[in-house]
Structure 1
Amino acid sequence: MKKKEIYRIAIGCLVALIAYYIFTFDLSSCRRSVTSETLPVSDSIPDTLRFVTLSGSTTYFYFRGEDMGYEYDLAKLYAQSIKKPFKLIVAANTKEMLDAIDSGKADLCITPQAITQTAKKKYQFVGPVERSAMVLVQVKSDSMVTSTAQLPGKEVCVAEKTRAANRLRHLNEELGGGIKCTILRGDTITDEDLIEDVAEKKIKLTFADEKLAMLSRTYYDNIDISVEVGLKQRLSWIVKKDRIMLAKSINDWAKTIPNKSAYLSIYKRYFEQSKNDSDSSSEEIVSTKNKRKHRLTKGKLSPYDDLFKHHAMRLGWPWQLLASIAYTESRFNPKVIGWSSARGLMGIMPATGRRFGANNQQLLDPETSIRVAVDCLLATKKALGIKGNSPDEIKITLAAYNVGPAHVQDAQRLAKKYHHNPLIWSEHIEKYLRLKNDPVYYNDSVCKAGYLRGGSATRYVNKIMNWYESHKH
Structure 2
Amino acid sequence: MPITLHKTSTLSPKALFIIAALLCVWVYLSGCADVSSTSKLQTIKQDSVIKVGILFDPTSYYIDASGAAGFEYELVNKFADYLDVNVELVPSYNFSELLPKLASGQVDIVVGGLANISDKDKQYRLSPPYSFIDQKLVFKQGRERPKSFEELEEPVTVGYGTDHIDVMNDAIALHPDVQLNVIDNTDPTELLESLMAEEFSFTIADSHRLALMRRYYPDISVAFTIKKDVPLNWLLPQDNDDSLFAALIEFFGELHQNGELTALDDKYFGHVESFNYVDTRLFIKAIENVLPKYKSWFEEYAGDIDWRLIAAQSYQESHWNPRAKSPTGVRGIMMLTQPTAKQMGVKSRLDAESNIRGGAKYINLLMQRIPKRINESERPWFALAAYNIGWGHVQDARRLTEKFGGDPDKWVDVKQHLPKLRQKKYYKTTRYGFARGDEAVTYVSNIRRYYDTLNWIEDQAIQQQLIEQKIEQQKELVDNDVPNKISQGLK
- Specify the structure having the higher radius of gyration (Cα): 1
TM-score (norm 1): 0.46
TM-score (norm 2): 0.45
